[in-house]
Amino acid sequence: MDQHFITLTVNGDSHRVPVAVQDTLVDVLRNKLGLMGTKRGCTSGSCGVCTIQGEDSRAVLSCLALAIEWDGRSLTTIEGVATPAGLHPVQQAFLEFGAVQCGACTPGLIMTAKALLETNPSPDEAAINEALAGAICRCTGHIKVKEAVRQAIRRMAATTEDADGAPQG
Amino acid sequence: MARRKAELDVVGRSQPRLDGPEKLAGRSVFTDDVVLPGMLHGRIVRSPLPRARILNIDTSAALRLPGVKAVITHADAPKVYVGIEQPLFRKDIVNYVGDEVAAVAAMDEATAIEAARLIRVDYEPLPAVFTMTDAMKPDAVQIHAKAKGNIAWAQSRDHGDVDATFAASAHVRTDRYSTPASHNCYAEFHSVVADWSRPDKLSVWTPTQTALLFQKAIARALGLTDGAVRLMTLHTGGGFTGRSAARPHHFIAPLLSRKAGRPVKIRMTGDEEFIVCRAGGEVQYRFRTGISSEGLIKAFEADLTFDTGAYVESQMIVLILTAAYIHTLYKLEATRYTGKLIHTNNIPYYFHHGGGIAQMAFGLGLHMDALAREVGMDPVDFHLRNAVTKGHTNMTGTFFGSCGLKECITKVTKKAGWKRKYGKLPPLKGIGLGIGAMASGAKGVFKHDTSAAFIKVQDDGTMSLFIGLPDMGQSSHTAMAIIAAEVLGAQPTDITVIAGDTDVTPLDVGAFTQRGTFNTGNAVKAACLDARQQIAVTAAGILGVKPARLEFRGGKIYPKGEPEKSLPFRKAVYDTLHSREGRFVMGRGFYNSPKETGTMAFSFGAQVAEVTVDPVTGMVTVDRVIAAHDVGRAINPRIVEGQIDGQIFSGMSQVLYEEMLLEDGQVMNPSRLDYKLPRSHEMPAVEHIIVETIDPFGPFGAKEVGEGPIVCTLPAIANAVANALGVPINDMPITPWHILRILGRRGPAGD
């Protein structure tokens, strides 16, 4: 099958990767770049486990995105969320609130929640529900996931206020 | 929460799961993440017809395709059987849409898919049968010669004088119910990696609830000794009872690997996932109950008919397990159960979440509620009057060493405001109660129900805990670390859990029948007591007291009641290892239920659900669920809550939404877009009440919380919907279509 080279920036690292026209981003991330954190789910956009973030921070289903269309673009995967210093506030909240169980859908949920908070820092209940509607998790039943997302919103808001030098009592 | 024994340090304190950071950072390894040098990709060729004769299989075009390394059919595995009358590959007759006919292994997935397409199979279609009613007709197609009348298996059992007790009952009620074919919808799809390139050793990576049963099944089918099969369980993306038996792909991947001399990965596609899963089939229930004039249940009869699909792999257990649960909630004088498994040309079925028991609880809960109302009793009073209690021995001989059923019912109905609401809600609003029980382990698969554990203590005071219990998300590994830490006076984070490699980890029957916390927990406790004894010898010498007087807590060892005379745990371990004798600290322990069969403990629960029915759309909104569960002791309370939450989701999903729709044996909704599960916004507010009854046999008094809650959710929501509509409900899922039909029958609905 014909291979085309594309340039893809993943978590800040630039890669020159050969792809076939039918390769999706999840295939390229996992099979060509060895980034196994993005899980492969239904491969038809119905389960949400393969969610990543595009340049505009929005959530993208990597199983529905053709890699060749991402030539020259950048994206963030679950491997780019935590830093050597520790977990991202969203990950930390998931840990504390018990919002991770089997873990197979967890990377997708983290990317979905992070995308929500970066595109809408103070989402209401409806916005949280809408964002999470594309992810299915039989283990947690979404309950602790929502608690964790609300906690992450509070914590990220507090961090922003600290950074502004105007923490509120 | 209940009695907190002051002497417990880490048990009962919420501990984030130890594998959480790894899972959250995307570093946890699942089977699909396993890549081995030279690994090939496999693909299974399945029957597109529900019943047909195979006239010819032509593999020549597939073999000519560049990149194809192995093709196998019945000719390669004539003696490999995966079930009764079920050879791994079909030679003559296929019996369901999805039946395995051939398999290929190729350099990459795309080539494997193309090769599978090139395998030409000629079929002669044969008449097939798809419903149990049709399958039981005298002139029905006989699917297997040995299963006369398409009855694959039948069992019946009486306890007490059933007919006389019914005859003596003041009131008898009979109801019929049904539950549909369903699917578990795992986040991690079915997958396997097998490496049989070395003829004397087969290594298999796969998600499972039981490495032991998979190892034994694969060894037996392929003619190997157990020791020649190394079964490795990585992270497992959900279990829900469905991953407790090996499936055909677990045998196909090894055979492809043997033929190609290279490792092979097989991962199911979206459609295949619905075929391979073997979740629940349709079940029809008939319940008959006889009560005294005081409202005491005297006699109970259950007749259960299961669609077992095209083959019997291990479905007898579905019937046996479900039937055992007619004995767990009420004090009874006589019981009768009759059950059968019926063959159809549907998928071979197995278990959905709740293991048959939750699905039976849907009908059982509706039946008991209807019976209570019929004799003018409030369902809560009716359940309280009949509920089993601590010290009860049921008709199958199970002793209830602890029992919080009445406490759960009382607490949950009080918190819900039951008295204020029941019978007094506006039209289309309803409230319902569901109660349940669940075993903590059940002897019966083998003569034993053993879990074993080793603990290796390092000279820096950290430990490696070796167990054979898988963690499918229930946080069993963290629970085991908490138990170990409690015994050794350490912190759970001091402990590395090493699990799921049959070459390394000790015997464990696995994570089903809710045996993990109870059996493996007791094994871990025993292993850690063994290690503690070894360390205590050194510490006692240093402190000048008898070993039995020592307390291990907070990283210190000290004589009981004299914490000021403490010695660091680490020093005692170091001195033990670095003594002239060089004593290596390694504790070992195991637990096996002392009973002949069955369980040592039941957990109990009660849930109240409140619902609103929309008369225009027929949609049911679950407004609130309150859940009270007697878990014996909550080892890790926040995780206990999470287990309850997930089961409320799954129970609600089954009772309101889930149904695998089949047409002529073909799954018509094989995707998460078409197979409905609750979305985030549909989940109700959930409140938890954890009841601790401190079981005398469980580790630190713990029982289970793995499936007890879901057994309560289905009847709680079903009863709430029946309460909102004021009409009986007999079938699930209770879909909008179902509701509108009911409302239509009653004429125009109120606002």
Q: Is A148 on the interface with B (CB under 8 A)?
A: no
- The C-alpha angle with vertex B371 and arms to B366 and B375, in degrees rounded to 5, equals 150
Residue of B24, B110, B646 with shortest CB distance to A95? B24
Three-class SS of A41-69: CCCCCCCCCCEEECCCCCEEECCCCEHHH
Q: Give the pLDDT of residue B738.
A: 92
- Read off φ and ψ for residue B254, nearest 5 degrees: -60, -40
SS3 B223: coil
Question: Least CB-CB distance to B681: which of A43, A91, A133?
Answer: A133
B151-159, strands of its sheet edge to edge: B151-159, B334-343, B297-309, B283-291, B171-179
CA contacts within 13 A on the Cβ side of B160? 21
Which CATH architecture group holds A3-80?
Roll (3.10)
The answer to whether A79 contacts chain B (CB < 8 Å) is yes
For residues B675 and B278, give the distance between their C-alpha atoms in angstroms, rounded to a whole number.
15
> How far is A65 from chain B, CA to nearest CA, in Å?
17
Query: Which residue on chain A is closest to B682 by alpha carbon?
Result: A129
The pLDDT assigned to A85 comes to 93
Where does B446-591 sit in CATH, by number? 3.30.365.10
**Does A102 sit within 8 Å of B235, measured CB to CB?**
yes
Interface probe, candidates B41, B182, B645, B680, chain A, greatest A C-beta count within 10 A: B680
B153-177 pLDDT per residue, tens: 999 999 999 999 999 999 999 999 9
Which residue is it, tokens 């713990």?
Answer: B702
With beta carbons under 8 A apart, name residues in chain B contacting A133. Answer: 679-681
Least confident range of B10-14, B114-118, B519-523, B594-598:
B594-598
Q: How far apart are CA A118 and CA B291, in angstroms?
A: 61
Q: Could you tell me the pLDDT band of residue B404, with boundaries at 50, 70 and 90? A: very high
- CB distance A125 to A149 below 8 Å: no
Work out the minimum CA distance from A12 to partner chain B, whole angstroms: 17
CA distance B26 to B28: 6
* Full 3-state SS string of B668-700: CCCCCCCCCCCCHHHCCEEEEEEECCCCCCCHH
Task: Choose the closest CB to B672 out of A106, A129, A136.
Answer: A136
CA B708 to chain A, closest CA, distance in angstroms equals 14
Confidence of residue B745 (pLDDT cuts 50, 70, 90): low
Task: Report A:6-35 residues touching B (Cβ under 8 A).
Answer: 20, 22, 30, 35
Task: Tell me what pLDDT residue B746 has.
Answer: 53
8 Å CB contact between B706 and B474: yes
pLDDT tens track for B602-643: 999 999 999 999 999 999 999 999 999 999 999 999 999 999
Considering only CA atoms, which of A66, A80, A54 is closest in space to residue A25? A66
Q: How far apart are CA B638 and CA B71, in angstroms?
A: 49
Q: Does A53 touch chain B (CB under 8 A)?
A: no
Secondary structure E strands in B13-99? 40-46, 52-58, 68-73, 81-83, 86-87, 93-94
Does the pLDDT at position A116 exceed 90? yes
Is the model's pLDDT at B250 over the cut of 80? yes
Chain segment B210-246, per-residue pLDDT in tens: 999 999 999 999 999 999 999 999 999 999 988 999 9
Q: In this structure, which amino acid lies at residue A6?
A: I
Q: Which of A3, A28, A101, A146 to mutate to test the interface with B (most CBs of B within 10 A)?
A: A101
Which residue among A79, A95, A97 sits closest to B26, beta carbon to beta carbon? Answer: A79
Assess contact for B518 and B576: CB atoms under 8 A: no
pLDDT tens track for B550-585: 999 999 999 999 999 999 999 999 999 998 888 899
Catalytic residue among B301, B486, B658, B707: B707
Q: What percent of chain B has pLDDT over 70?
A: 98
Let me know: does B206 contact B307? Beta carbons within 8 Å: no
- Contact between residue A26 and residue A38 where contact means Cβ atoms under 8 Å apart: yes
Query: Using CA atoms in the order B351, B353, B357, B363, what is the torsion angle rounded to 10 degrees?
Result: -110
Query: If DSSP codes are grouped into helix, strand and coil, which group holds residue A11?
Result: coil
User: Distance (Å) from the C-alpha of residue B229 to the closest C-alpha of chain A?
Assistant: 25
3-state secondary structure (DSSP) of residue B202: strand
- With contact defined as beta carbons under 8 Å apart, do B621 and B611 qualify? yes
List of chain A residues whose C-beta atoms are within 8 Å of the C-beta of residue B20: 94-95, 100
Query: What are the backbone angles phi and psi of residue B287, rounded to the nearest 5°?
Result: -115, 140
Q: Distance (Å, rounded) from C-alpha B39 to C-alpha B631?
A: 45
Amino acid in position B388: V
Assigned token pair, B652 = 């609600």
Please give the DSSP secondary-structure letter assigned to residue B728.
-
Domain boundaries in chain A? 3-80, 89-161
**CATH topology identical between B283-375+383-440+601-745 and B446-591:** yes
| Distance (Å) of CA B54 to CA B90, B94, B99, B100 | 8, 7, 12, 12
Read off the pLDDT of residues B75-102 as tens digits, 9 standing for 90 and up.
999 999 988 789 999 999 999 999 999 9
Cis peptide bond prior to B733, omega within 30° of 0: yes
Q: Return the residue in A139, A140, A147, A149 with the most chain B beta carbons within 10 A, the one to mutate for interface testing.
A: A139
Helix (DSSP H) and strand (DSSP E) numbers for chain B: 19, 30
**Cβ contacts of A98 on chain B, cutoff 8 Å:** 14, 16-17, 638-639, 641-642
User: What tokens were used for B392?
Assistant: 């009860």
At A168, the pLDDT band (50, 70, 90 cuts) reads very low
Q: Report pLDDT digits (tens) over B367-394.
A: 999 999 999 999 999 999 999 999 999 9
Among residues B283, B337, B271, which one has the least CA distance to residue B307? B283
Query: What is the spatial distance between Cα B341 and Cα B349, in angstroms, rounded to a whole number?
Result: 10
Q: For residue range B473-498, what is the model confidence (pLDDT) as tens digits? A: 999 999 999 999 999 999 999 999 99
Q: Which residue, among B397, B133, B166, B169, has the nearest Cα to B284 in the 3D structure?
A: B133
pLDDT for the residue A159: 82
Closest CA to B360 of B253, B434, B425: B434
Gyration radius of chain B's alpha carbons: 27
Whether residue B692 lies in the annotated active site: no
B609: nearest Cα among B374, B365, B381, B437: B365
Mind telling me how many Å the CA of A100 is from chain B's nearest CA? 7
B503-512: pLDDT as tens digits: 999 999 999 9
Q: b or e along B209-223 (b: 16 or more beta carbons within 10 Å of the residue's beta carbon)?
A: bbbbbbbbbbbebbe
Whether residue B4 is predicted with pLDDT greater than 60 in this model: the reply is: no
Tens of pLDDT, residues B298-330? 999 999 999 999 999 888 888 888 998 999 999
Confidence at residue B750, expressed as pLDDT on a 0 to 100 scale: 42
Instruction: For Cα atoms B516, B517, B521, give the angle at the middle one, nearest 5 degrees.
Output: 100
Residue entry with tokens 């020649």: B228
* Residues whose CB falls within 8 Å of the CB of residue B365, separated by 6 or more in sequence, listed in order: B433, B434, B435, B714, B715, B716, B718, B719
Q: Give me the mean pLDDT over the B647-661 stretch.
A: 97
Paired strand residues for B435? B606
Residues A57-67 have pLDDT tens digits of 999 999 999 99
| Cα B348 versus chain centre, distance | 17
Contact state of A137 with B187 under an 8 Å Cβ cutoff = yes
Residue B748 — very low, low, confident or very high, per pLDDT cuts 50/70/90?
very low
Order of strands across the sheet with B52-58? B93-94, B52-58, B120-125
Q: Does residue A161 sit in helix, strand or coil?
A: helix
The average confidence (pLDDT) of chain B is: 95
Handedness of CA B132, B134, B138, B140 (dihedral sign): negative
B520-540 pLDDT, tens per residue?
999 999 999 999 999 999 999
- Antiparallel, parallel or unpaired: β B52-58 and B120-125: antiparallel
Q: Three-state DSSP class for B722?
A: helix
Q: Do A138 and B686 touch (CB under 8 A)?
A: no
Task: Provide the shortest C-alpha distance from residue B380 to chain A (in Å).
Answer: 27
How far is it, in rounded angstroms, from Cα B317 to Cα B355? 10
Domain boundaries, chain B: 40-127+187-238+243-276, 283-375+383-440+601-745, 446-591
How many Cα atoms occupy the beta-carbon half-sphere of B404 within 13 Å?
28
Chain A positions in Cβ-Cβ contact with residue B186 (cut-off 8 Å): 104, 138
User: Diameter of chain B by CA atoms?
Assistant: 89
ipTM: 0.95
For residue A38, the chain B residue with the least C-alpha distance is B26
Task: Give CA angle at B750 (B744, B751), nearest 5°.
Answer: 125
Fold of B283-375+383-440+601-745: Aldehyde Oxidoreductase; domain 4 (3.30.365)
A98 to B184: CB separation less than 8 angstroms, yes or no: no
pLDDT score for B580 = 87
CATH of B40-127+187-238+243-276, one of 3.30.390.10, 3.40.109.10, 2.70.70.10, 3.90.1170.50: 3.90.1170.50
Residue A37 has its nearest CB partner, among B27, B110, B646, at B27
Nearest residue of chain A to residue B190 (CA atoms): A41
Structure tokens at B576: 């033990």
A152 and chain B: CB distance < 8 Å anywhere?
A: no
CB A67, CB A61: distance < 8 Å: no
Distance separating alpha carbons of residues B498 and B367, to the nearest angstrom: 46
Residue B187: which of A49, A96, A144 has the nearest Cβ?
A: A49
Partner-chain residue, chosen from B270, B473, B680, that has the shortest CB–CB distance to A142: B680
- Token couple for B310: 């095209």
pLDDT average, residue stretch B338-366: 95
Question: Which pLDDT score is estimated for B277?
Answer: 87
A97 falls in which pLDDT band (50, 70, 90)? very high
Looking at beta carbons, which residues of chain B come within 8 Å of A139? 187, 238, 473, 642, 646
Nearest CA to B352 out of B692, B658, B20, B731 is that of B658
| Token duo for residue B478 | 């963290």
Contact B33 A36 (CB under 8 A): yes
Topology (CATH) of A89-161: DNA polymerase; domain 1 (1.10.150)
Instruction: Answer whether A42 touches B (CB < 8 Å).
Output: yes
